[in-house]
């Protein structure tokens, strides 16, 4: 799947449950919207070289799916994003784009 990036704009965005994911050509930005994160106002930036693997868990028995990023230096502490089922095609596109980027590192 070819995607064309506009400079400074994400290639794909996922609206998760209390979390948004923005995919850029060189990084993934996680924006949490819970109370704790709103107080700190911090986005979490993960560069492609920091990602060891990405996993996608479909909506099967629940009304949400899960996108999980395993990090090279934090293998015991993955970053998990829950998303509503109607966002599954976007989550799949993000997973595939990250995997493609990881093959070229």
Tell me the domains of the chain and their CATH numbers. Answer: 12-103 (2.30.29.30)
What are the pLDDT digits (tens) for 38-97?
566 678 999 999 999 999 998 877 789 999 999 998 878 899 999 999 999 999 999 999
pLDDT recorded at residue 62:
75
C-alpha 67/C-alpha 23 separation (Å) is 13
Tokens of 70: 């395993």
What are the pLDDT digits (tens) for 28-50?
999 988 666 556 667 899 999 99
pTM for the full model?
Answer: 0.84
C-alpha 35/C-alpha 7 separation (Å) is 31
């Amino acid at each position: 799947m070819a995607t064309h990036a506009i400079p400074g704009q994400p290639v794909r965005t996922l609206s998760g449950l209390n979390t948004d994911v923005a995919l850029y050509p060189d990084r993934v930005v996680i924006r949490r919207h819970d109370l704790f994160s709103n107080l700190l106002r911090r986005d979490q930036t993960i560069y492609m070289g920091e990602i060891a693997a990405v996993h996608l868990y479909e909506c099967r028995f629940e009304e949400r799916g899960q996108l999980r990023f395993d990090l090279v230096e934090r293998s015991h502490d993955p970053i998990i994003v829950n998303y509503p089922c109607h966002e599954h095609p976007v989550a799949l596109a993000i997973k595939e784009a990250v995997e493609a980027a990881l093959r070229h590192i």
